[in-house]
Amino acid sequence: MEKEIYDAKIDSEFREPYEDQKEQRNGYLYIHGGFRGTETRFSFFFPDKESYKGRFFQFMAPAEGSENASVGRTGAEDKIGFAVKNGAYFVETNMGVANGIHSGDGSIIYRASAACAEYSRKVAARLYGEHRPYGYIYGGSGGAFKTMSCFENTNAWDGAVPYIHGSPMAIPNVFCVRAHAKRVLRHAFPKIMDAIEPGGSGNPYEGLSAEERQTLLEVTKMGFPMRSWFYYKKLDDGALPVVAGATIGIDKSYFTDFWERPGYLGADPCSSVHRDRIVCQCRVLRVHIPRRKSEEEISAEKEKLNGADSTWKRNRSDYGMEGEIYLQAKDLPAGDVYAYGSALTFRSGKATGLTVTVDRIEGNKVVLAAGFGVKNMIPLLKEVKSGDVFVIDNSDYLAAQTFYRHQTPAGEEYIGWNQFTTASGQSIYPTRELSVGPLIACGSCGSLQTGKFKGKMIVVAATMDESAFPWQADWYRKKVQENLGDKTYDHYRLYFFDHCYHDDGAKTVDELHLVSYLGGLHQALLDLSDWVERGIEPRKSSGYTVEDGQIVLSDSVQERCGLQPIVRVCGNGTKRAEIGTGESVRFRAEISVPEGAGIPVRAEWSFEGEQNYPEKSEIVSGKGIVETCASHTYTREGTYFAVVRVWIQRDGKQDVFTEIANIDRTRVVVHKNA
C-alpha cells in the first residue's frame, strides 16, 4: 500500500496563521509569527525583490524549540546571509514545540515544519507577486533525521539536503562504541596514531595487548573512523550522557545482567571492566563552585547552540558556569583510575540523594562533568559541607559502553553488527528483547527512514564522522536504491567529504587534521536548486567502497568524483623526510579536482603546528598537473607534520559560503646535527 503523504494545506490544526512581528533588518525583511491554538512558531527572512529568485531554504536544527537559532550567525555560518545572497528567503521554525522536546509520536515535527513552509509561500506571493516558490529543506545530525522525515512524509518541499545523518540503529550505539574504545585504548592511542599518521608503520595493531587489539578491530568494524582517534585526548563521549537515561535506561535489567550473566563483558572476570570498576565511599573536604554567568548571557549563548555537535549541550544542568566544579575529598581511589562517567551520589548532608557525573579524579580532587537533566544541581551542591559522605560508582557506565553488542539487529543491512553473528546468522552475544535505537530514532522525528521520497535529494557525509559513522550514509543510499531502482540517479546524490568531523562549524576542533564541509554543504544546496529548477545535473556521487565498516574513497579523482579536491603532499619526495637541524625540506603538493567541481583559489601551509596556516603559496598549472610548492627550514630537533590546505570554488572566486577545502599531511623528522 502506498504511504499516505501529509498535506499541511488541508490540516485544520494549522488553519489560523498569524504574524506578530515585521521589521526591515540589514539585508532582509524579518517576519515572525505562528499558528493560533498551537505552539508552532516561525521566522521568515525575505530578501529584496530584485535579489529574489523564487526559492527558499528551510533549516532543521538537531533539536526543536527555537525559530530564531540562526539569527546572529556570521561568516560562513550565516545561514540567513547565504540564503539571501543566493536569491532565497530563509525559513526556521520551532518545529511545533515551545520549549524542550516534543511529547507524543514526533509527527508534530514534520507537520508543523510543513505548515510553516506552506504558509511562507503565501507570504512570498504577497510580497513578490503570485507564484509558487521552490522549497529546499536541510539539516544535520538530529536535524538530518528531521529533514528526512519531513521530506519522506510530506509534499511541502522540492528538494532536501540531509547531512551527516545516522541510521535507526545509531543512538545510543555509536556513542557506546566510542566510550568503550576510549576506556580500553586510553594508553594505546599514542602508538595507534603514530602508526597511521603519514610516515608511520601503517600497522595500528602493532604493540597492543590482546584486549586492545580486539577492541580496536571491533570498534573499527562498527564504523568508528580510525583516523578520528587523533583527537583522543579531548574527545568526550558525545551525547551519551544525554541519551543514556532515555535509551539504555529503558532496559533497566541490562545493568544487572551485564555483571552477572554469561556472554556479557562484566561477567568475564578477566575483563578490564573489573580492573576499572569503582565503588567507593568518600568524604568531602571542600566544594568549589565557580561564578555563574548572567541569565542574559546564558540565554544568548543557548540560542546559538543549534550546531550538529552543540545542540545537545543546551541541556547541561551546569550551563553558564565560568570554570569547572570540583570536590576535594578524602579516600578517593588512586593510581590508574578510570572515573569518567562515574555516578557520584551524596549519602549525607543536605544534598543527600543528589547524583552527579564525574569527569575525572586528580589526586584529592573530583572534577564533575556536565550535568544533564539533574534538577537543582547547583543549588544542592552549594549546600554540600565538609564531612558529607558520597559514593562513586561507575558500574552502570561501564555496562553502558558495550550495550551495542546486545542490540544486534536481524539481517545484514546494519554492517557494523555483522561481526557479532555466526555464519548461520546466530548472535554471538545475548541479544536484548528491546531494540532501543529505532524507538529513539522514530521518536526524535516522527518516523524511520525508508528511502521513499518524491523530489530530489543530495546527502552530505563526512569520512571521519566520529558521531554518525560514515557507513550509515551508504545504508540510506541502499534504501533509496531499493525504492527507486534505475531511477535513483535521477533523484539522489551522495557526497563524502574527507578529513571532516561531525561538526558543521566553519572552524574545526583541529585545523591540522580536519577541514569544514560547510562550503560543500552550501554548494550542494545550490546544485540542488539548479537540479530542481533548471534540470542541471549535479556532479556525480562520490566513488567509494565499504571495507570492514570503513568508507574508503577512491584514490583516483576520476573515480572519486564528488565536490572536494584531492591533495597529496610529500617532503623531499617522500611521506617521511629525515633531516638535520638547520636543513630545509622542499614540499610539493599535487591538486586534483573532480570534473566541474571548481577551480583552486588558494593554498596555505603549516610547517610546525601553526593552526592558522601562516604560509601561502602559488598554485601552478601545467602539463596536466596542478601543484603548489613550498620550503621550510627546521631549526629544532623533533617530529613535525607539515600540512597543506587547498581551497577550490566552483567559479574560481573568493566566496566565504562556497569555498571547499581539503588537506594532506607529511612527516618531517629532524635530528640534531653534530
CA distances from residue 29 to 21, 61, 135 in whole angstroms, order as listed: 10, 22, 18
Q: In the predicted model, what is the mean pLDDT of residues 223-244?
A: 87
* Residue boundaries of the structural domains of the chain: 8-169+442-534, 173-271+401-434, 279-391, 565-671
Q: How far apart are CA 326 and CA 480, in angstroms?
A: 50
Q: Read off the pLDDT band of 104 (50, 70, 90).
A: confident
Task: Please list the residues that pair with 16 across neighbouring strands.
Answer: none
Angle between helices 173-184 and 240-247 (to 10 degrees): 120
Radius of gyration of the chain (CA): 26
Q: Residue 246 above 90 pLDDT?
A: no
Secondary structure letter of residue 2 according to DSSP: P
- The whole model's pTM is what? 0.94
Cis upstream peptide for 133 (omega within 30°): no
Q: Burial of 528 by CB count in 10 Å (0-12 exposed, 13-18 middle, 19+ buried)?
A: buried
Place of cell 578490564: 272
> What CATH architecture applies to the domain 8-169+442-534?
3-Layer(aba) Sandwich (3.40)
What cell numbers appear for 40 in the block?
Answer: 508552532
Sign of CA dihedral 92, 97, 100, 106: negative
Please tell me which residue, 295 or 328, carries the higher pLDDT value.
328
Residue 486 buriedness (CB in 10 A; 0-12 / 13-18 / 19+): exposed
**pLDDT score of 242 more than 90:** no
**Is a pLDDT exceeding 80 seen at residue 529?**
yes
Would you give the distance in Å from CA 297 to the centre of its chain?
A: 25
What residues have CB less than 8 Å from 662, skipping those under 6 apart? 498, 499, 515, 564, 565, 566, 567, 645, 646
**Model confidence pLDDT, tens digit, residues 350-381:** 999 999 999 999 999 999 987 766 778 888 99
Q: Cα separation of 500 and 508, whole Å?
A: 8
- Identify the CA nearest to 529 among candidates 50, 35, 52: 52
Q: Express as a percent the part of the chain with pLDDT over 90.
A: 85
| Encoded amino acid at 147, one letter | T
- Which pLDDT does position 174 carry in this prediction? 96
CATH class assigned to 279-391: mainly beta
Average pLDDT, the chain: 93
Q: Give the rounded percent of residues in the chain with a pLDDT score beyond 70.
A: 94
Question: If you write DSSP's letter for every residue of 306-348 in order, what string do you get?
Answer: -STTTGGGGGBTTTTBSS--EEEEES---SS---TT-EEEE-S
Packing angle between helix 436-445 and helix 142-153, nearest 10 degrees?
70
| Cα distance between the two ends of the chain | 80
Report how far apart, in Å, the C-alpha atoms of 31 and of each of 23, 86, 120, 552 are: 7, 19, 10, 45
Q: Which cell numbers hold the place of 325?
A: 566544579
Q: What is the reported pLDDT for 460? A: 98
Average the pLDDT over 47-54 and give the result: 97
pLDDT number for residue 569: 98
Distance CA 521, CA 160 (A): 11
Class of domain 565-671 (CATH, top level) = mainly beta
pLDDT, position 78: 97
Determine the Cα–Cα distance for residues 664 and 199; give it in Å rounded to an integer.
12
Confidence of residue 399 (pLDDT cuts 50, 70, 90): very high
Q: How far apart are CA 664 and CA 498, in angstroms?
A: 10
Asked if 82 and 93 count as a contact pair (C-beta separation under 8 A), the reply is no
Distance CA 494, CA 184 (A): 34
How many whole angstroms separate alpha carbon 408 and alpha carbon 406? 6
pLDDT value for 476: 98
Contacts of 67 (CB under 8 A, 6+ apart): 32, 41, 42, 43, 92, 93, 94
Grade residue 301 by pLDDT with cuts at 50, 70 and 90: low
Q: Which of 2-11, 228-237, 304-313 has the lowest mean pLDDT?
A: 304-313
User: Which of 329-333, 421-425, 566-570, 609-613 is the least confident region?
Assistant: 421-425
Grid cell of 575 as nine digits: 611521506
The gap from C-alpha 640 to its chain's centroid, in whole angstroms, comes to 29
Q: Is 83 left (phi over 0), alpha (psi -120 to 50) or beta?
A: alpha
Evaluate if residue 102 carries a pLDDT over 90.
Answer: no
Compute the distance between CA of residue 49 and CA of residue 463 in angstroms, rounded to an integer: 40
Helix crossing, 436-445 with 240-247: angle to 10°? 110
Under a CB-based contact definition with an 8 Å cutoff, are residues 88 and 55 in contact? yes
Average pLDDT over residues 211-221: 98
Q: Would you list the DSSP string of 14-83?
A: G--EEEEEEEEETTEEEEEEEETTS--EEEEEE--TTT--SEEEEE--SSSS-S-TTTT--GGG-HHHHH
Residue holding cell 494545506?
A: 9
